[in-house]
Structure 1
Amino acid sequence: MTEGLSYIFQTAAGFILTALCWGFTNPFIKRGSKGLESIKRPTWLSQTLAETYFLFTNWKYLLPLLLNLSGSAVYYYTLSSAEITIAVPITNSLALIFTILSGMLLGEPSPTRKELTGMFCIVSGVALCITS
């Protein structure tokens, strides 16, 4: 019995940690990439190299990206013991909610009623999937 509960808590913790890493870093990655659109180079290759240099020398982009990628490592570790049909909707819906919450903490606009309704539908749908 306790082994079953331990598995459930470990799996849930993996899903939540993944969603936290993905969701809370999204607004920071968005902010850290500001200025990227102003880079203009004559060829595709030089444009790509200039954008890559800009992003990978910008700690405001790189630090949240590394945290986001660590969430992916936790996700793949959690997938080794969880069903993918459960893992994907749980982590993605939680990441959406954490993205909105962290955006609000950074001063982005609060979600509209339509967006809140959509979030409620997503969470309800995921809850139905899990309980079935």
Structure 2
Amino acid sequence: MSPDVQQQEDQQQQQQPPVINFVLSFLLVGLAWGFTTPFIRRAAKDHRPGVHPLLDRPSVRQSRIRRAAFTALFAVIDLLRNPRYAVPLVLNLTGSVWFFLLVGRAELSLTVPIVNTVAFLFTVLGEWWVEGKVISRDTMIGMLLSVGGIALCVQSKNAS
């Protein structure tokens, strides 16, 4: 290996943030994606759309496209005006921004499976918290196998 290549590799390693930053980032994205999902689901299930007189106008009722467009628009507006839906949604979308920033810095083949696994784990915990769902033995085994699989992926990257 030439000295220039070795020097470039040393500079790249020095520019990388500590591993704990990546671990915390993975956890935050997984938390934002996974733990908020049960809250979004509960708010969407409990949602009762308001009355919108515009939908009763003849010009809207006669046009299938207008009726569908206005119905969809009012559904989105009604949900976003509901803090029980909007707050978890904003946190969830913030996780997507964090993920975008993380993908640019971390190893892609580790980032995607780690974040998705952590999101799954937090979704299970969120369902337990929000809906009182019991975490079954099979789900617990699946969670442990998922974590074990991620550990194998991380170990294989460190070995190479």
For the superposition of Structure 1 and Structure 2, which TM-score range results when normalised by the shorter chain? 0.7 to 0.9
Tell me the TM-score normalized by structure 1. 0.84
Measured against aligned partners, the alpha-carbon deviations of 1:23-77 in whole angstroms (never above 9, x if no partner) come to 21111111121244878x7743233123212211111100111111111111111
Find the aligned partners of 1:35 and 1:106 in 2 and give their Cα distance: 13
Aligned partner (choices 33, 45, 58) of residue 22 of structure 1: 33
**Mapping of 1:34-49 within 5 angstroms?**
34-36=45-47, 43-49=67-73
The answer to whether the Cα contact below 8 Å between 1:18 and 1:74 also exists between their aligned partners in 2 is: yes
Structure 2 counterpart SS, 1:111: coil
Task: Say how many residue pairs are matched.
Answer: 132
1:90 aligns with 2:114: yes
**Mapping of 1:1-132 within 5 angstroms?**
3=14, 6-36=17-47, 43-132=67-156
Tell me the TM-score normalized by structure 2. 0.71
In structure 1, the gaps of 5 or more residues are none
The answer to whether the Cα contact below 8 Å between 1:22 and 1:95 also exists between their aligned partners in 2 is: yes
Find the aligned partners of 1:113 and 1:90 in 2 and give their Cα distance: 22
Find the aligned partners of 1:73 and 1:29 in 2 and give their Cα distance: 18
Offset of residue 98 of structure 1: 1.0
